Structure 1
């Protein structure tokens, strides 16, 4: 049974032109991003690419109901409830690229999943973002988004205790130690890796800009240039993670995208910069009479009001919640402020004409499609209902009266009761994601860790 071709599927001519330009590429990674943000799929041969573009490719719907390890989660309703039925994957326009770090070089094509009648498959996280962007565009509002990516580069070998450690500085071979935040000397030591990264990004048309040595040994940040197409910004982020991970392996390192890989070191965030443009591309968040535009204020108000319901999207995993603490850059309440990095929603300093907001709650382990969809939904809520933000925070603020969920379990329960999330993501995406996280929570709650036994075993 073939599926109905969706209107936004990539044209066949895109694949034909690519194959003409790249005669030596014999295989392609077919990639679907699942609700956990994990790249799933298969490697297809060169002769299979054109049939994918012409007719789509059947994939089991259960691929979107897997936990992080790749095990089926029956509670999603995507395994036995429908006989593990196939859906159909169609290529995303503009996603066909080479993987310049592979040898022999492969290509990559990313896909979205659809029902056989051509309608959106509700559990595909990219479809959730499409839904929110279309909602804005129906009002002639166009999201402009950009992500920042914090991550760790770890040594391929663990330390004497079997624990992960920061990657050695490649040029000198010395161990990474100390914070060295904004250190240019540390970045210089990573010249072979950074050079390869920028070269590969250019080949993939990824708008990678600044790299920073962050606030812990082995921690770095990469920024992506803003995109006038909101979907492209999230696509860029998932591609950049694939690029960093692939290059790190080939340079004797491992890239780590956990929100808090080390208990006593800085966590890794995934900040989202956002504004809205009119049909001519003018920034609707630009200052008005030397003050914040009403639309920007209302967007902030909506994000504040919906943040507690949204926290499971921003902090989806057990490890995500280790990142949040007082007096840190991972906010524990829905505060906002201008030129203040301690708040959840920051209005950065800069040109009044380029004014935008920076959403700082998400960890790097979150799914960028679900983060962007949820942030846009909060902005829409605020703009549509003219919600004014709370009082601005000019210093560190932890408003005890408006705390966010305090832990993973509370975030799961609040998300499950949220009508806002059902509307933001679509009811099926919300239900699948919450089911995945409930099962994951049960798994970790049942485990007895070595630390737990050492703490209690010979004492109580």
Structure 2
């Protein structure tokens, strides 16, 4: 513990030396819906925390709904006295914030690794899955890909408007994959890339996607699953900030336009043993088939994680490369689980179902749980799409059905934690019901 505190203290002191104009640091963590919460600390107080002073925030901050409100979930929120819970600083994440008007820093905090971690904190859920896999000699290597849209900064009647092409000042309303779009939006995209790298995020390829104003960012393959998910979470935060600075609005909303493709979170996962051998390639890729079967078996029971809100379910089906059933295939982007072409050393799965606004810690935890289950159960998967284009199993496409399917699945409860599953499902149920408590203008047009 002493050496750990010494490392953190050195990190804070180095930061203060390199950024003497920074007076405050945002200590942030991701809640269940995937929003950051936290506190703004004077930098001199951060040094005390790094040296070992307690860091506590309300436990129930993790339970906030999509709009920031609290729901009654068991005894939490309203019958527990709203207790504090310990957090710790995540080493290596103290970085300057460049998109605010005043000098600022930010640093991730978490309850995992504390004496009493919060069972339903997303980062803690993933940490437990990774720890269990490590004890079994399984070491994941992970790479996220995130799609997002750029909109004009100003909304019109609450609706997003196409991003303006900075060269022509025309709306970027033509969906295409043209490389020239990267050039036209290079100023904001370059700033996003440089800002991400300044946050310690290993971003690689930038692609202009099919939707108007839609882009995709790829991250490097990382042998630390928590860090890989940290990168995805922090990228969303800094990208939204950079976009506003340039007069745009960046959104990871799953389906902002009905007529254009939605935005997804694609996750590449390979599994290695302690000697660096690819476990999925073992026994002539038999282990790969078992892992795929496990993923597909649990997928219908993890839909509230992969599609975490009403809008995310709109993304499924009827658009480019968005699956409507649990399926897999080799080099097939219509599949939920795609096997990219690679040599045995780099053999991996690409899980393509999650929406871009899903919680990256929980998405990765659910994927790894499926892979782990498959390696244990050793079942054969259904036929790949390459052999049968109709192959696949149904999954829920409405939130309340999805919540029931998740809450009642014993393997998911075991792999992700029963307490987490109950809390998460109730949070999603309450969010969905709250969303329904407004009469849309369309209802008056149809039924008045």
TM-score tier by shorter-chain length is over 0.9
Contact residue 309 and residue 418 of structure 1 kept, 8 A: yes
Deviations 1:304-340 (A, max 9, x none): 1111111111011011110011464111111111010
Match of 1:313 in 2: 305
Does 2:260 align with 1:265?
yes
Name the counterpart of 1:61: 59
- Establish whether residue 87 from structure 1 lines up as the match of residue 72 from structure 2: no
Q: CA deviation at 1:75?
A: 1.9
Q: Are positions 1:180 and 2:180 aligned together?
A: no
Residue 384 of structure 1 aligns with which residue?
A: 376
Distance 1:150 1:11, change over 3 A: same
| Structure 1 range deviating more: 293-302 or 71-80 | 71-80
Deviation at 1:7, TM superposition (A): 8.1
201-210 vs 245-254, greater mean Cα deviation: 201-210
- 1:232 deviation in Å? 1.0
- TM-score of the two chains, using structure 2 as the length reference: 0.94
Structure 1 position 106, deviation (Å)? 1.3
Decide whether aligned partners of structure 1 residues 320 and 10 sit closer, same or farther in structure 2, where only a CA change above 3 A counts.
Answer: farther
Whole-angstrom CA distance in 1 between matches of 2:129 and 2:282: 25
SS at match of 2:73: helix
Mapping of 1:273-284 within 5 angstroms?
Answer: 273-284=268-279
CA shift digits 1:95-139 (9 cap, x unpaired): 211223334321111111269x71221121000000111111001
Seen in structure 2, the aligned counterparts of structure 1 residues 179 and 327 have a Cα distance that, compared at 3 Å, is closer
Work out whether 1:43 is the aligned partner of 2:40: yes
Cα–Cα, structure 1 residues 297 and 399, in superposed 2: closer, same or farther, change >3 Å? closer
Structure 1 residues 5 and 311: alpha-carbon distance in aligned structure 2, compared to 1, 3 A threshold: farther
Alignment of 1:96-175 (within 5 A): 96-113=94-111, 118-159=115-156, 162-175=158-171
Whether the 8 Å CA contact 2:151–2:249 is kept in 1: the answer is yes
CA distance in 1, matches of 2:280, 2:337: 14
2:334 aligned partner:
342
Matched, 1:355 2:335: no
Residue 296 (structure 1) shift? 1.6
- Whole-angstrom distance in 1 between the partners of 2:327 and 2:187: 40
Q: Deviations over 1:279-301 (max 9, x none)?
A: 2333333476xx5x222221101
Q: CA RMSD in A?
A: 2.2
Q: Distance in 2 between matches of 1:6 and 1:76?
A: 39
Structure 1: segments with no counterpart, 5+ residues: none
Give the corresponding residue for 1:78. 76
| CA distance in structure 1 between the partners assigned to 2:3 and 2:133 by the alignment | 21
Aligned residues: 447
Name the stretch that deviates more: 418-427 or 133-142.
Answer: 418-427
Q: 1:225 aligned to 2:244?
A: no
Answer yes or no: is the 8 Å Cα contact 1:61–1:87 preserved in 2: yes
Kept after mapping to 2: 8 A contact 1:335/1:397: no
In structure 2, the residue matched to 1:452 is 443
- With the length of structure 1 as denominator, give the TM-score of the two structures: 0.92
Gap regions ≥5 residues in structure 2: none
Residue 325 of structure 2 corresponds to residue 333 of structure 1: yes
